[in-house]
Amino acid sequence: MDTLLALLTVFTQPQLFLLVGLGTFLGVYIGAIPGLSVTMAVSILISFTFSWDVYPAISLMVGIYMGGVYGGSRTAILLNIPGAPSAIATAMDGYPMAQRGEAGEAIGVTTVMSFFGGLVGIAVLALAAPFVAEFALTFQPRDYMLLAVLGILLVGSLSAGSLLKGIFAGALGIAIGAVGRDPLTFAERFTFDFQIMEGGISFIAVMIGMFGISEALLQLHHVGAEAMRQKIDRIVPSWSTVRKYLPLSLQTSSIGVIIGALPGTGGDIAALMAYDHAKRVTKKPTRPFGTGAMEGLVAPETANNAAVGGAFVPMMTLGIPGDAVTAIMIGALFIHGLNPGPMLMVDQPQMFWFIVGALLTANVFILICGLTGIKLFTKIVEMPRAVLIPLIMLLSVVGAYAVNNSVTDVYWMLGFGVFGYFMRHYGYPLGPVILGVILSRLLDDNWRRAIISEREDLGAFSAGIFGSPLSLTLLLVVVAIFVSQTPVYAMLKSRISKRAADQA
Amino acid sequence: MKIDYRGDADHHDGTSDATPGGYETERRPGELAFALFLLVASLYLLWEAYGIAGFEALSSAGAVPMATTAAMAVSALIIVLRTARLPKVSTESLARDILPFKVILFGGLLVCFGLLLVPLGFLPTAALFLVLAIKYLSGRGWGFTLAVSLGSLLLIWVVFRIVFTVLMPAGIVPEAELLQFFRNLGTGGGAQ
């Protein structure tokens, strides 16, 4: 009964309901406007909702997250520019459809399928999370440490071309998170004897710098780019169209939830894998894939929205984020004094059910925002970058300042913004940095707890890992990711593919 | 497009979030210098991490920092070696594709924003920044620039000052008195 009440909190309080709706609405547009991203919006918003109560703040951010994942598909279809990484696969068939003048239909189907995928993801979250949390209570500190390493490595290896750059970025994040006085021994770490660094670097300044300022600086390269105009008419899809793709969408939603739930993998990977799956199982696509096949649109869009629910599973139960946006959501929960992890589920189950309720509401709002307001949409997307870029910069400065009322944070933010700008140019992924900053404390604490409980004996520590199936599995996956980057793996792979070619 | 390597053919035109750029088989202008900078910085941080507690204990405050900075240094070294072997992109130059004047100018503008924020206050600094930035970027007339920048500043101020109750440095503008004045107007001066 309590669970049900907590789930319905959003519906019983009109203020929260409206905030979720507003968040979703904003998310759809932020996701759709090229140059604005969900990660940017959520990082800036954390600082603004800082003084709010936790429920309204979470309502707004859940809405933006959910809406943003969907909103990225709009520009993928209309302009061949994925508004978010999770919409990359959407562009492959969505843009060809728009070129044929079927943009309206593509958007309509995308909206309904996103809603459907989101629903599946939330259902799985509600059903699975309590069990995972219970299981997670048996985790040893070493398991948490391995999970944190795994999460950072996966984000580094899957979101970019070069794992090495991902490793560098993740390690840099952990180091940034370690700056300041060590909470256990009060030893100064990376403070360079500056007093202002003793309190550490505000992770919000890092986030806003990396995702706000660096993006705005990059957008300066395209300030003259013309805003595109597209004619869109009918967008509500017919029931028969929806029914036709229901079986496929159920499969791809399942893929989305599972991929989303793996630590370190988010909507972008889920969407690409679902697209691949659709390609394999669809015998007769409406058109060949890549030229505007409806299946190629349904698969990634269901998967990336289903991945949202999936990504909340490790985030809420283990405190391990699935990607940059969930890392920022964890940051938001931290700021409001919540500590995501198995204990949150035990101590404050109502918070978990409230978030499930908010996700559910946001999902319904996607359907509403997605199928209406097309005229307004085209107007907003045409907002000139000459105005947009200075506004992003202004909001970033205000956001960085607002959390601690400190100009130092503004300078950190600018510094990381410029650094992130170069990182983006040279192919270093930013996601692992944020994951590293967020997970730094968890990793450090658990490593020390694990090694102290083994009396500083590395032998006993490794024996512990090899004695537990869970720890061993985690370790093997970590090792496998490393091996996949060495010449040994490339050699093996070429040998296997050669053998396969010989047999064929 | 290779799925596992998103490339940067369009310089991230709108593909926001943490989508990395760079090329797989070529080196962009300044890429090697950046990699070298990262290597030197990592080595310095490794030295700094060693200084926290040395090799005192596996559970010391310096253990994780040393491990992470070592990981940074090793990966940075391999990145330097790999990058050095790649041929340069022939179609790009540092001044045009990586650090054009616009980017440097905005970097400078932002630093000035930070410097003036407290002494001058949020409203005048932000107004100055928006007017200069929008005028320069849009190349439109003063009417457009002033209307758009001051209009959006007013909107932002109303939303954040009143809805989000974010306090920004007041500086030379008597913000609180101004707000009180409007509140009094709203209540028909009855509050006095």
Using a CB-CB cut-off of 8 Å, the residues of chain B touching A189 are 49, 52, 61-62, 65
Tell me the residue type at A130: P
Q: Does A474 touch chain B (CB under 8 A)?
A: no
Q: Annotate A43-110 with DSSP letters as a single string.
A: HHHHHHGGGS-HHHHHHHHHHHHHHHHHHHHHHHHHHS--SSGGGHHHHHHHHHHHHTT-HHHHHHHH
User: Given an 8 Å threshold on Cβ–Cβ distance, is B17 in contact with A37?
Assistant: yes
Calculate the dihedral angle through the C-alpha atoms of A493, A496, A502, B2, rounding to the nearest 10 degrees. -30
- Residues in chain A closer than 8 A to B28 (CB atoms): 425-426
Q: Is the pLDDT of residue A81 over 80?
A: no
Each domain of chain B, given as residue ranges in start order, spans 1-98, 100-186
Q: Is B186 on the interface with A (CB under 8 A)?
A: no
Q: Which of B59, B69, B139 sits opposite A175 (nearest CB)?
A: B69
pLDDT in tens, A440-449: 888 898 899 8
pLDDT average, residue stretch A216-225: 79
Report the range of poorest mean pLDDT among A22-31, A491-500, B15-24. Answer: B15-24
Q: Write the pLDDT tens digit of every residue in A407-428.
A: 889 999 999 999 999 998 888 8
β-pair partners for A181: A188
How high is the mean pLDDT of chain A? 83
Residue A219: pLDDT over 60: yes
The answer, yes or no, to whether residue B17 has pLDDT greater than 50, is no
Gyration radius (Cα) of chain A, Å: 22
User: Which residues make Cβ contacts (< 8 Å) with residue B20, sequence separation at least 6?
Assistant: A159, A160, A161, A165, A423, A424, A427, A428, A429, A430, B6, B8
Judged against a pLDDT cut of 50, whether residue B10 lies above it is answered with: no
Where along chain A do its domains lie? Answer: 15-225+233-453, 462-504
pLDDT (tens digit per residue) in A465-501: 898 888 998 899 888 877 776 666 667 767 777 776 6
Q: Is the pLDDT of residue B105 over 70?
A: yes
Helix (H, G, I), strand (E, B) or coil at A188: strand
Q: Do B21 and A223 touch (CB under 8 A)?
A: no
* Chain B residues lying within 8 Å of A65, measured CB to CB: none
Is there a contact between A217 and B18 if contact means CB atoms under 8 Å apart?
no
Q: Which pLDDT score, from 0 to 100, does residue A370 have?
A: 82
* DSSP-assigned letters across all residues of A211-222: IIIHHHHHHGGG
CB nearest to B114's CB, from A52, A405, A411: A411
User: What's the pLDDT score for residue B2?
Assistant: 38
Condensed to tens digits (0 to 9), the pLDDT of residues A190-208 reads 888 888 888 889 888 898 8
Q: Coil, strand or helix: which one is A391?
A: helix
pLDDT exceeds 70 at position B79: yes
pTM over 0.80: yes
Q: How confident is the model at residue B39 (pLDDT cuts 50, 70, 90)?
A: very high
Q: Does the distance separating the beta carbons of A84 and B107 come in below 8 Å? A: no
* Facing B13 at nearest CB: one of A182, A222, A424: A222
Of A84, A395, A444, the CB nearest to B64: A444
CB contact under 8 A, B166 and A39: no
Q: pLDDT tens-digit profile of A368-410?
A: 888 876 667 766 666 788 888 898 899 888 888 887 888 889 9
| A187 and chain B in contact, CB less than 8 A | yes
Our CA-based measurement puts residue B98 at a distance from the nearest CA of chain A, in whole angstroms, of 7
- Tell me: pLDDT of B21 over 70: no
**Region of poorest pLDDT, from A267-281, B119-133, B154-168:** B154-168
Q: What is the pLDDT of residue A503?
A: 64
> Measured between CA atoms, how close is A131 to chain B, in angstroms?
31
pLDDT at A501: 67
Is A167:A264 a contact under the CB 8 Å cutoff?
A: no
A84 contacts A70 by C-beta, under 8 angstroms? no
pLDDT value of position A232: 64
Residues of chain B with pLDDT > 70, as a percent, come to 86
Amino acid B147: pLDDT: 93
The token duo for A415 is: 């510094």
| Average confidence (pLDDT) over A307-330 | 84
With H, G, I as helix, E, B as strand and everything else as coil, classify residue A298.
helix
- What is the per-residue pLDDT for A228? 54
- With 60 as the cut, is the pLDDT of residue B6 above it? no
pLDDT of A135 higher than 70 = yes
| CB–CB contact A164 B18 (8 Å) | no
- Residue A116: pLDDT band by 50, 70, 90 thresholds? very high
